[in-house]
Amino acid sequence: MTMKNNEPIRKSELQEESLFEKAVGRRSFLQYAGASAAGIALVAAGCKKDRGYPDMNTGVTLDFKDDFGVLNYAYALEQLEAAFYVKVASAPPASFTAAQKAYFQDIQFHEIAHREFFKAALGTAAIGSLEVNFDSIDFTSASSVLGTAMAFEDLGVSAYNGAGPRIKSATYLLLAGKIVSVEARHAAYVRDLISNGSFADLNSLAPLGANNAGGLDAALTPDKVLATAGKYIKTKINVINL
Amino acid sequence: MNIVNILEEIEKVDGEIYERLNPRRAAMKSFFNIGKKISLAAMPLALGSMFQKAYGQTTLPTAVVDVLNFALSLEYLEYHFYNHALLGTDVTFTYPTAAAKTAITTIRDHEKAHVDLLVGALGSSARAPIAYADTDFRAGGTFATVYTDYNTFLAVAQGFEDTGVRAYKGQAGNLLVSPGVLQTALQIHSVEARHASHIRQMRTAAGTAVYKPWVSLGASGQANDSGVPQVDAVYAGEDLTVQANVNIANITGAPNATAAKLAAVESFDEPLDRASVITIANLFLQPGKKLS
């Protein structure tokens, strides 16, 4: 037919338009695209509809329906960090300098403070204590300890940054902000110990959501953070309403 | 960030949102296609740009525009401060190592990226640019040697970075209405904290005093740990030890009261209100160019 032969390009544009307009529908397209772009809604739907509610009898549950869920998420991560630094500070790698030992002890106190703060602030809403799994860490090796510290600090920064917009209360948002900048200071310090000048190497942080062109630090959604942190946590963490 | 929720929230106050977006289907499509390729970090910017296209450039709530222009002023200051330290012909100090100069370059580049990003997000609502000529990093003589003495330069740099961290923290609550903008602001906030940590390490490396990478207490227990009394205002209130009615000094596990107080101060950074930040920033701006 004439149309087919003479206007193939136009036809294909129309087909594309038609798919966009009719087959999916404007509003459902927005929802579908929004879900896949943000990677959040599909996960949440998967939790609720496909698998049903997780078994509450095992592990802890982070219910992201409200700010308590976000605070418990932070509490879980602070438990992990504190457990790590308690172990490092109690028996630092032999090659650590006196200054490094002192700063790792400082960081230990900071992380304990964060952990205990969340526990106290959450009160009866707090999740239980997590059991950690540090089998993959060689606590006698400076490179293993520093590498793990960097991973935890950068992940912590990405977690707080990614969770910030989920917080509804200005008070809680500010408290998270008071903590995340301390984590970022830790991260920069540890990074500089590993490689001086890498304190804010945003290209290397791109897998955690950083954007060097915008001068933007890491930010990850809780599902991604927990997938990474899970390697170090024995306790099962159930996530709902994400 | 969940774009579906954002769109639904907007629909509650603007039933026309989908109609507004509809004529810009091309913009929407490119937005979502970009979304497949770019990181979460860039999503808020892309989202902001999409809404700008849907509403025009005046759609950011006034309060958000104010916060972003306030942040932009600070980023201009920081950018010029470092850029001049790298390029200024009246700069007579020398960087002790190549790594030191590289670090200042890294920080300068981030501040420039922040300026560009904020200008882009604000569009026609962006404040007038601040030029180097509008600044006075010697602060009327308070820091007369800022570009002739490396240690003075680093001391002022620490003040800028620690102020920046506090300023963003102080504004976060005002951005709750715009989750995408809040996301971006948080990502700038923690980069400034990384800068501050490194500048503090550079100061320690360059001199005889030790500056912790995190904000601690001064030698006499004062809030200002920078050793520079002229920047007391930068650290006012940083010595808080109680958070949300929880006495942090009681829960750090530190071995004695002195260590516990230090740990309590260090483990939480404090915000600074807008007026206090402006007072600090105005020290470094020429008359007629000061912020209000």
Which residues in chain A touch residue B264, judged by CB atoms under 8 angstroms apart?
Answer: 113
Q: Is the pLDDT of residue A11 over 50?
A: no
pLDDT for position B59: 83
Q: Which domains does chain A have, with CATH numbers?
A: 2-38 (no CATH), 60-240 (1.20.1260.10)
Identify the domain containing residue B31 by its residue range. Answer: 1-59
Among B59, B84, B106, where does a domain finish?
B59
pLDDT for position A21: 36
How many CB atoms within 10 Å of residue B58?
11
Backbone angles phi, psi at B96, to 5 degrees: -65, -30
Q: Is B188 on the interface with A (CB under 8 A)?
A: yes
How many CB atoms within 10 Å of residue B30?
14
Q: Distance between CA atoms of B107 and B199, rounded to whole angstroms?
A: 10
- Residues of chain B short of pLDDT 50, as ranges, are 1, 4, 19-20, 22-41, 55-58
Q: Are strands A237-240 and B242-243 parallel, antiparallel or unpaired?
A: unpaired
Residue B135, domain member (yes or no) = yes
Residues B10 and B151 in one domain: no
pLDDT for position B11: 54
Question: In this prediction, does ipTM exceed 0.85?
Answer: no
Residue B257, domain member (yes or no) = no
Residues B137 and B277 in one domain: yes
Residue B162, domain member (yes or no) = yes
- The count of structural domains within chain B is 2
A106–B214 CB contact, under 8 Å: yes
Residue linked to tokens 């602001």: B185
**Chain A residues 41-60 with a CB less than 8 Å from chain B:** 41
Q: Tell me which DSSP letter residue B57 carries.
A: T
Residues B92 and B71 in one domain: yes
pLDDT for position B61: 95
Residue B119, domain member (yes or no) = yes
**Chain A residues 148-177 with a CB less than 8 Å from chain B:** 157, 160-162, 164-165, 167-168, 170-171, 173-175, 177
**For all residues of chain A together, what is the average pLDDT?**
84
Q: Is A222 on the interface with B (CB under 8 A)?
A: no
Residue A65: which H helix or E strand, with range? none
Residue B265, domain member (yes or no) = no
How many CB atoms within 10 Å of residue B36?
9
- B84: amino acid identity, one letter: H
Q: What value does the CA radius of gyration of chain A take, rounded to a whole number of Å? A: 22
Nearest CB neighbour to A161, from listed B179, B186, B243: B186
**A69 within 8 A of A62, measured Cβ to Cβ:** yes
Dihedral of CA atoms A31, A33, A37, A39 in degrees, nearest 10, equals 50
Flag the least confident range among A17-21, A215-219, B169-173. Answer: A17-21
Backbone angles phi, psi at B254, to 5 degrees: -70, 150
Residues B67 and B137 in one domain: yes
pLDDT for position A57: 59
Residue B41, domain member (yes or no) = yes
Q: Is the pLDDT of residue A185 over 70?
A: yes
Task: List the end-to-end C-alpha distance of chain A, in Å, as a whole number.
Answer: 52
Residues B23 and B123 in one domain: no
Q: Distance between CA atoms of A60 and A126, rounded to whole angstroms?
A: 10
Residue B225, domain member (yes or no) = no
Please choose, from the candidates A137, A159, A157, the residue with its C-alpha nearest in 3D space to the C-alpha of residue A232: A137
A164–B107 CB contact, under 8 Å: no
Q: Is the pLDDT of residue A189 over 90?
A: yes
A108-130 pLDDT, tens digit each: 999 999 999 999 999 999 999 99
Q: Distance between CA atoms of B73 and B291, rounded to whole angstroms?
A: 8
- Substitution target in A14, A116, A185, A221 with the highest count of B β-carbons within 10 Å is A185
Residues B80 and B110 in one domain: yes
How many CB atoms within 10 Å of residue B153?
27
**A165 within 8 A of A119, measured Cβ to Cβ:** no
- A185: amino acid identity, one letter: R
Q: Is the pLDDT of residue A26 over 90?
A: no
B116-143 pLDDT, tens digit each: 999 999 999 999 999 999 999 999 999 9
Q: Distance between CA atoms of A176 and A193, rounded to whole angstroms?
A: 26
B270–A210 CB contact, under 8 Å: no
Task: List the end-to-end C-alpha distance of chain B, in Å, as a whole number.
Answer: 33
**Proportion of chain A above pLDDT 70, given as a percent:** 76
**B46 within 8 A of B31, measured Cβ to Cβ:** yes
Residues B42 and B73 in one domain: no
B186–A30 CB contact, under 8 Å: no
- A218: amino acid identity, one letter: A
Q: Percent helix, strand, coil in chain B (nearest 5)?
A: 65, 0, 35
A200–B195 CB contact, under 8 Å: yes
Query: Residue by residue, what is the 3-state secondary structure of A149-213?
Result: HHHHHHHHHHHHHHHHHHCCCHHHHHHHHHHHHHHHHHHHHHHHHHCCCCCCCCCCCHHHCCECC
Q: Are strands A60-63 and B246-247 parallel, antiparallel or unpaired?
A: unpaired
Q: Distance between CA atoms of B274 and B99, rounded to whole angstroms?
A: 34
Residues B181 and B137 in one domain: yes
Going from the C-alpha of B114 to that of each of A227, B38, B73, the distances in angstroms are: 30, 18, 11
Residues B180 and B112 in one domain: yes
A27–B251 CB contact, under 8 Å: no
A139-156 pLDDT, tens digit each: 999 999 999 999 999 999
- A57: amino acid identity, one letter: N
Which residues does B214 contact at the CB level (< 8 Å), separation at least 6? A106, A110, A182, A185, A186, A189, B197, B200, B266, B269
Handedness of CA B19, B24, B25, B29 (dihedral sign): negative
Residue A239: which H helix or E strand, with range? strand A237-240
Residues B67 and B31 in one domain: no
**Structure tokens given for A86:** 């308690």
Among B59, B88, B108, where does a domain finish?
B59
Residues B3 and B86 in one domain: no
Residue linked to tokens 């308590």: A68
pLDDT for position A49: 40
Among B59, B83, B108, where does a domain finish?
B59
B186–A215 CB contact, under 8 Å: no
CATH number at residue B178: 1.20.1260.10
Handedness of CA A156, A157, A158, A162 (dihedral sign): positive
Q: Is B101 on the interface with A (CB under 8 A)?
A: no
Q: Distance between CA atoms of A196 and B178, rounded to whole angstroms?
A: 36
A34-44 pLDDT, tens digit each: 333 333 333 33
Residues B81 and B203 in one domain: yes
Interval A95-110 mean pLDDT: 98
Q: What number of C-beta contacts closer than 8 Å exist between A and B?
A: 259
Residue B278, domain member (yes or no) = yes
Q: Is A4 exposed, middle or buried (0-12, 13-18, 19+ CB in 10 A)?
A: exposed
Quickly state the pLDDT bin for A58 (edges 50, 70, 90): confident
Q: Is A122 on the interface with B (CB under 8 A)?
A: no
**B68 within 8 A of B118, measured Cβ to Cβ:** yes
